[in-house]
Structure 1
Amino acid sequence: MKYKLISAATLLLLLCFAFAVSSLGEELLKRSIQHDEESAVMPGVYIETENSSLPVITTTFQSDGLMQQNSSSVNAVISVRENGEEVLCHTAQVSYRGHSSMEFDKKQYKICFTDENGTEDKTVPFLGMEKFDEWALNGSYLDRSLMRNYLCYNIAGQFIPYTPDARYCEVYLNGEYQGLYLAVETVARSSGRVDISAYKNGNNALSYIVCADWNDEGKSAVENIAKSAMIYPEQSSLYVVYPGKEKLTDTYKSAIANNISEFEKALYSQGFADLSNGYRKYIDVDSFVDYFILNEFFQNADAGDYSTYFYKDAKGKLCAGPVWDFNSALGCDVDTDLPYNSFVMTNKPYFKMLMKDSAFVEKVIARYKQLRKTVFSEEYLLDFISDTEAFLGEAIMRNNSLWGSRMYGEEIQKEIKLIPSSRNPDNYDDAVRALCDFIKRRGEFLDEYIDTLRQYSHESAVKKYNR
C-alpha cells in the first residue's frame, strides 16, 4: 500500500477548518418575539407634547460640505394603551431622529423618558421590553413591506447577543394618527441592553461602545488608524457611544482610539493571521463571523460602513455588534439595485482583510450552513413573514390609508423612490411579494456559492500590505 504525505500547508488548513467548526455555537438564543406571544395585541402609543409643540429641525453644513440635520426636543407625556386600557403614562422628551430619514414625510422619533425633575428615568418598562429610558420609533417608510427591521432584528436576536428588542405599535401625536411604527431599543450600556462593565473614571480596564456612521461634527469621533488610512468611506467615521459625552474624558477617548488602532495595525499587517499576535489577539472572532453572515444574508449594504457598532467589555475582546438598521436591506437600497446574486460584506472595512484568512472563511462557511437549517431556512423566514403580516392585520390598512399614496405608485415621495423606478411596488401586496422573492433567491444563491468565499483567502488574493 502506498501512502501520500500531507503537505504542511494542507494539514494546517484542515486543522483550521476543524477548529472553526468545533468552536461554532450550536444552540440559539432565547428571544421573545411579539407576534408569537400568547397575549399579543397591537398597542397604541399616544404622545402629547407640551402646548402641542413639535420638534424643530435645523440644517447646517459641516466642514466637509455634508448637510447635517438635527432636531430639538420637546417635553411630552407618553401613554400606552392595550385593548383600550392605559398601561403606561409617563413624562418624556421627544425629538425627530435619523439621517436621511429626516427628509421623510413620515418622521421617526426618539423618546427619552424623564422623571419629575426632567432627568432621564431608566426604570420605565415600554411595550414589554426591558426597563430603560430611551427608544427609537421607526416609521418603516422606506420599507414598503413594513417588516424588514422587525424580521432582521428578531432573526439576529436568536444568535447574536444584545440585539435590540423591537415591538410594533400605532402612534398618535397630539391626537392625530401617525401610522404603524416599530419601537426599537437603542444601543446603550445597560444590564438589559449591551451588558458590559460600567465606566469608572481612573480605571484602566477599557469598557466601551463605538459606532461607524455618517460624519457628524457634533459627536465624539475616534482618531483611529483605519480612518486616517482611508479604510473607512470618506463620509464615515468611528464615534464613541459609551461612555457618553458627559463622562468621556480625553484620556479615556485616546485609550479607546489606541485600543482600536492596535487591532487595526494587527489586522492590516503582513502577519495579520498569526495565531498569537495577529487580529485574533484583539477581537471575538465568532462575533465578527455572525455579524458577517447576518448582514450578508440580508444584503445590508450599509453594514460595515454606517450604523455599525462594536463593543468591548473591560475583561474581553472587541466584539462586532449589536446590529442596527435594516431599512435598506433585502433589495431596498434606494440608489443601487444590488443584484441578489452578489456578496456585499467582502469589501467592507475590517471584513475585507478578515476574509483573507482561510480559518475565518471556513468559520463563515460552516456557520452559514448551520444557521441555514434553522433561522435562515426558507420555510422559517417565509412563515415568519406570513405570521407577522397576520399579526399586523388591519394596522396595515390604517397605516396605508394615511401614507399609501406617498409609499406606492406614481406619487411616491422622491426621497424613498427606488432606482430604477421599476423596483417600486404598486401596493402593499407587491411589497411583501418582492420581499419574499428576494429571500428565496438570496438563499438559493448563497447555498450554491457560499463555498466560493474561499477565493478571498486563496494565496493569489493574499498579498503583502494588500487592503
Structure 2
Amino acid sequence: MSYLIPSYFLIIEKEDLEDLRYDIWDDQPVPAYLKVAKATYDIDIAYRGSYTRKFKKKSYWIEFVNPSRYAGAREIHLNAEYKDPSLMRNKLSLDFFEDLGVLSPHSQHINLTRNGSFKGVYLQLESVDDLFLEKRGLPLGPIYYAVNNNANFSFLRDGKQKKSLLSGYERAFGSSSDDDFFHDLINKINTLPQSDFSSEIKHYIHIDKYLHWLAGAVCTMNNDGFTHNYALYRNSETGLFEIIPWDYDATWGRKVSGGVMHCDYVAIEGKKDNNLSCLLLQVPEFRKLYRNILEEILETKFTVEYLEDKVASLHQTLRPHVLLDPYKKKKVDTFDGEPEFIFQFIRERSSYLKKQLVDFL
C-alpha cells in the first residue's frame, strides 16, 4: 500500500496569529496563506473542535479563498489527533466504514509547518458538504451535522424536552425548507405507533446503511459516535436519510483522553441514548438484519487478518514523521506499541461481540 504524506506550509502574519490565539473559542477566521507543492492559496483559518482547543497542538478549519478550491474542496479540516498515540485511529475508522459501504469522508495525513516552524503530523479530513456528494456522484440533498449529544433522534434528552427538533444539529448544506424533511424524520421516529413503525420508517431512513453504520460504530467502539460525531444526508432521489461518521479518534480501544477503553465498554446495541437505534432493534426484522450484518463483519472485515497490512503500512509510513513531530517524538515507544494494541483490541472486541450474538435473537 503506497501512502505519501505531503507537506503543507502555513503562513500567518504576526497580528493575525495573535488574533487567532486571543480567544481559542472564537470561530471567526483570520486570513493566511497555505503553500502546497508549487501552489499558494489565500485562505481563512480558525481553530476547530471542542475540548481539543485546549491542547498544545491545535486543530484547524481552513477555507480556500483564492483560488476557491483545493483538490476539489472549498474547505478542509486539519486534526491534530493529539490524544491518539497511534495518530491513525480516525483514518483507520473512516476507511473501515467505507469498506462497509457506509458514506465516509476521505482522510489523509499531512505534515504541517507554520511560519517556518514544524508543527507535526496532522490528519486532513474531507468536509461533508455538496462537493462531498458531487465527488461520489450522489444527488444533492441537505446535510446536517450532529454537533452535540442532543442529536439523539428523540424529543427528549435526560428526560427533558429539547428546545427544537433541530436541537443538537446544524445544517451544513441545504435551505431552511429542507428542515421540514428533518422535522418530519424526528417526528415520525418519535410518534409512529409500534404497529406501523417497521413499515413506515423505511420511507425515511436507509435501514440497511444505517445498520451497517451502527455495526461499524459498535465494532470500533466510538462511545461518542451514537449521539454525536455523525452527519445526516437526505438523498433527494430516494428521499431517504443516510448517516455519515465523523471524528473517530477515540476508538480501537482508546478513550478521548488516550486511556484504555476495555472491550466491553460499549454494548452490542450501541449507546442506549440513541433513540433510533433502540427503536429499530426492537423490530424483529431489523434486529435479525443487524445481527446478520454484524456477524458477517466480524467474520470478514473486523479481523486482524483483514486490517493487519493497513495498520502496519500506516505505522511504517508515519513513523519517520512522528520522530520529528514536536508533540509526539518523545512518545515514539508508545507509538511503536500501538499496532499490537489495536490488534489485541480487535481480538478481544470480536470475541466479546461474538459471545453477545449468541443471545442476540
TM-score range, shorter chain: 0.7 to 0.9
- Could you say which residue in structure 1 is the equivalent of 2:263? 340
Alpha carbons of structure 1 residues 172 and 231: separation in structure 2 relative to 1, 3 Å = farther
C-alpha separation in 1, matches of 2:15 and 2:357:
54
Cα deviation 1:59-81 (Å, max 9, x = unaligned) = 7xxxxxxxxx333312111112x
Q: Find runs of 4+ consecutive structure 1 residues off by over 6 angstroms.
A: 231-236
Q: Does 1:79 align with 2:1?
A: no
Query: Residue in 2 aligned with 1:380?
Result: 306
State the secondary structure of the residue aligned to 1:156. Answer: helix
2:171 is aligned with 1:255: no
Q: Is the 8 A contact 2:102 2:244 kept in 1?
A: yes
Question: CA offset at residue 256 of structure 1?
Answer: 3.4
Q: In the alignment, is residue 242 of structure 1 matched against residue 164 of structure 2?
A: no
Q: Which moved more, 1:176-185 or 1:310-319?
A: 310-319
Cα displacement string for residues 377-414 of structure 1 (whole angstroms, at most 9, x for unaligned residues): 22112222111111223112112x44455xx5xxxxxx
Equivalent in the alignment of 1:214 = 148
Q: Distance in 2 between matches of 1:341 and 1:382?
A: 22
Bigger-Rg structure (1/2): 1
- For 1:310, what is the secondary structure of its paired residue? strand
Shift of 1:299: 0.4
Please tell me whether residue 430 in structure 1 is matched to residue 337 in structure 2.
Answer: yes
2:231 corresponds to which residue? 309
Query: Bigger CA drift: 304-313 or 289-298?
Result: 304-313
- C-alpha contact (below 8 Å) 1:44/1:171 kept by paired residues: yes
Aligned sequence identity (%): 20
Aligned length: 352
Alpha-carbon RMSD across the aligned residues, in angstroms, is: 3.0
Quick one: structure 1 residues 241 and 87, their matched pair in 2 at CA, closer, same or farther if it must change by over 3 Å?
A: farther
The answer on 1:449 being equivalent to 2:356 is yes
Mapped to 1, the partners of 2:231 and 2:134 lie a distance apart of 17
Deviation at 1:194, TM superposition (A): 6.9
Q: Which runs of 5+ in 2 are unaligned?
A: none
Is contact 2:120–2:324 with CA below 8 Å preserved after alignment? yes
| Aligned AA (1:386) | A
1:277-312 residue CA offsets vs partner (Å, 9 max, x unmatched): 3x2232110111111011000000011211121111
User: Deviations 1:41-76 (Å, cap 9, x if unpaired)?
Assistant: 3211111123463224537xxxxxxxxx33331211
Aligned to 2:210: 288
Partner of residue 100, structure 2: 159
Deviation for aligned residue 1:316: 2.1
Secondary structure at the counterpart of residue 240 of structure 1: strand
Q: For structure 1, which runs of at least 5 residues remain unmatched after alignment?
A: 1-35, 60-68, 81-85, 126-130, 199-206, 216-220, 409-424, 455-467
Partner SS state of residue 26, structure 2: strand
Output the amino acid matched with 1:149: N
Q: Aligned match of 1:107 in 54, 58, 63? A: 58
Offset from partner CA, 1:350-375 (integer Å, 9 cap, x none) = 11111111111111121123233433
Summarize the alignment of residues 323-402 of structure 1 with structure 2, pairs less than 5 Å apart. Answer: 323-334=245-256, 338-344=261-267, 345-347=270-272, 348-399=274-325, 401-402=326-327
- 1:89-168 maps to which residues of 2 (within 5 A)? 89-115=40-66, 121=68, 123-125=69-71, 131-168=72-109
TM-score (ref. length: structure 1): 0.68
Secondary structure (helix, strand or coil) at the match of 1:351 reads helix
Letter in 1 for 2:143: I
Equivalent residues of 1:189, 1:195 under 8 A apart: no
* Greater fraction helix: 2
